Amino acid sequence: MFGLRDNLEHISLQIDGFYDHLVRDLGVKRKWLEKVVILRRYLVKEELIPSSLNWGRCEKGTRKVAERLLKGDFPV
């Protein structure tokens, strides 16, 4: 998603309502998608996300959870 957006910006293109399109196409709620994007902005490498991580622990305070995972200071 970030790569697509960055590539489009690089050639001066933009998708209006980018989130709206993703919500529609993926069939998810916008708030959930926004939180997933926040988590992935901080945790760029997939291996930083423990496979045992329960999404319910990330829903509230998503940015703080991501920052703690980056520091290795988040019990999973």
Rounded to two decimals, the pTM is 0.71
Average pLDDT, integer, range 15-41 = 89
Q: Tell me the CA distances in angstroms from 59 to 3, 9, 12, 33, 54, one per residue in order.
A: 24, 29, 34, 11, 9
Instruction: Answer yes or no: is pLDDT of 76 > 70.
Output: no
Q: What is the distance in angstroms between the CA of the first residue and the CA of the last residue of the chain?
A: 27
pLDDT of residue 63: 92
